[in-house]
Amino acid sequence: MVKVLVIINCIILAIGNCGGPLIMRLYFNNGGKRIWFSTFLETAGFPVIFIPLLFSYIARRRSNNVGDDTSFFLIKPRLLIVAVFIGILSGFDNYLYAYGIAYLPVSTAALIIASQLAFIAIFSFFMVKHKFTPFTINAVVLLTVGAAVLGMHTETDKPVHETHKQYIIGFLMTVAAAVMYAFILPLVELAYQKARQPMSYTLVLEFQLILCFLASIVSVIGMFIAGDFKALPKEAREFKLGEALFYVVAVFSAIIWQGFFLGAIGLIFCTSSLVSGIMISVLLPITEVLAVIFYHEKFQAEKGLSLALSLWGFVSYFYGEIKSGKDKKRIQQEESPETEQSSLSSEC
């Protein structure tokens, strides 16, 4: 069952991770200017989570004895409070990311976000006690250098209609988004560990529902302050693809982004925050290729070098994890005969 959940979450994460930035950039490329609105769309699809929660509730109700009360929600106050806190953090993190996508090519933003694996490894070490290995350290260095390479010769990558200042701010905002999200993923894993109630996939869905709901509230407040509610009708009418497609893009954006967050949170439950970060890095080349195909983005030497360093860092980390897993398995196999022998001698 766990393997099935891992596969499902990987597929959902892949669709959201590759499709989310592309459809968000589609909005900005065709006259969209409201950053808080884009932030809202990243989590506005949370109502779709009620569908699997409803099926889970019906299944639990059928399995319970007649007359027993079946609660729709399983989450307890301790985990609820953490979900609220992480949801608020996610709202601001989504704003940083949306700001970056507004002023950066998708391929550049994807390369920067890939560097979050390095930050996830660091935060995981302190928060959930994931161990550092030489391979992990090598991956951290390579991913950090890969992100730094993108900061070189930025003028060649800057979209024509944007100023150098806007590009730099977008670059820094995307880096900040990567760091904050790298902090959020281990924080979610820590929340699961300290929940003080049995974790199930239904509970993970409830956690995601609350997280996205709070992040959406943050976005709505930002939209109100920025005047997005007044500006959106006019923006829809002036959208280059047409008013109808403006709303189609908005709806699909909300659904696709929900898949990304649901897949990431689900993978943390099934595996760990590091595996979730690795999966995001694995999808980097696909996002790069799609951005070049659909938006004809330039792929300069700096991007090529950054991509090579990022992939090298990923391979280094992944190889280290496989090697570490084999070593642990070998040690357990060596210890098991000794344990059996000691138990037999004690019986004698």
- What are the pLDDT digits (tens) for 12-70? 988 998 899 999 999 999 999 999 999 999 999 999 999 999 998 998 888 876 656 77
The yes-or-no verdict on residue 237 having pLDDT over 90 is: yes
pLDDT score at 238: 95
Q: For residue 312, what are its two tokens? A: 């090298």
Share of the chain above pLDDT 70, in %: 90
pLDDT score at 150: 63
In three-state secondary structure terms, 197 is coil
Total residue count of the chain as it appears in this document:
348
Task: Tell me which amino acid residue 264 is.
Answer: A
The stretch 246-275 carries a mean pLDDT of: 89
> Range with the lowest mean pLDDT among 17-31, 117-131, 174-188?
117-131
**How far is 166 from 162, CA to CA, in rounded Å?**
6
Q: Tokens 């993108």 sit at which residue?
A: 150
Written as one string, the DSSP assignment of 265-302 is HHHHHHS-HHHHHHHHHHTHHHHHHHHHHHH-----HH
The stretch 320-329 carries a mean pLDDT of: 75
pLDDT score at 118: 78
Integer CA distances (angstroms), 333 to 158, 336, 339, in order: 55, 5, 10
Q: For residue 160, what are its two tokens? A: 């024509």
pLDDT score at 162: 77
The stretch 185-193 carries a mean pLDDT of: 92
pLDDT score at 5: 83
pLDDT mean across residues, the chain:
84
pLDDT score at 332: 73
**How far is 324 from 329, CA to CA, in rounded Å?**
9
Residues with Cβ within 8 Å of residue 265, at least 6 apart in sequence = 188, 204, 207, 208, 211
The stretch 209-215 carries a mean pLDDT of: 96
**How far is 106 from 287, CA to CA, in rounded Å?**
8
The reported pTM is 0.85
Structure confidence at residue 224 as a pLDDT band (50, 70, 90): very high
95 half-sphere exposure, CB direction, 13 A CA radius: 16
**How far is 263 from 47, CA to CA, in rounded Å?**
16
Structure confidence at residue 242 as a pLDDT band (50, 70, 90): very high
The stretch 204-211 carries a mean pLDDT of: 94
pLDDT score at 173: 94
Q: Does 345 or 300 have the greater pLDDT score? A: 300
**How far is 17 from 179, CA to CA, in rounded Å?**
17
Structure confidence at residue 249 as a pLDDT band (50, 70, 90): very high
Plot region of 31 (φ>0 → left; ψ -120 to 50 → alpha; else → beta): left
Helices and strands counted in the chain (H then E): 14, 0
Q: Does 140 or 263 have the greater pLDDT score? A: 263
The stretch 265-273 carries a mean pLDDT of: 84
Radius of gyration of the chain (CA): 22
pLDDT score at 342: 54
pLDDT score at 54: 93
**How far is 193 from 28, CA to CA, in rounded Å?**
39
> Range with the lowest mean pLDDT among 24-28, 137-141, 319-323, 337-341?
337-341
HEC readout, 114-154:
HCHHHHHHHHHHHHCCCCCCHHHHHHHHHHHHHHHHHCCCH
Task: Tell me which amino acid residue 95 is.
Answer: Y
- Do 34 and 302 form a contact (C-beta atoms < 8 A)? no
pLDDT score at 140: 73
The stretch 215-226 carries a mean pLDDT of: 97
**How far is 46 from 121, CA to CA, in rounded Å?**
28
The yes-or-no verdict on residue 305 having pLDDT over 60 is: yes
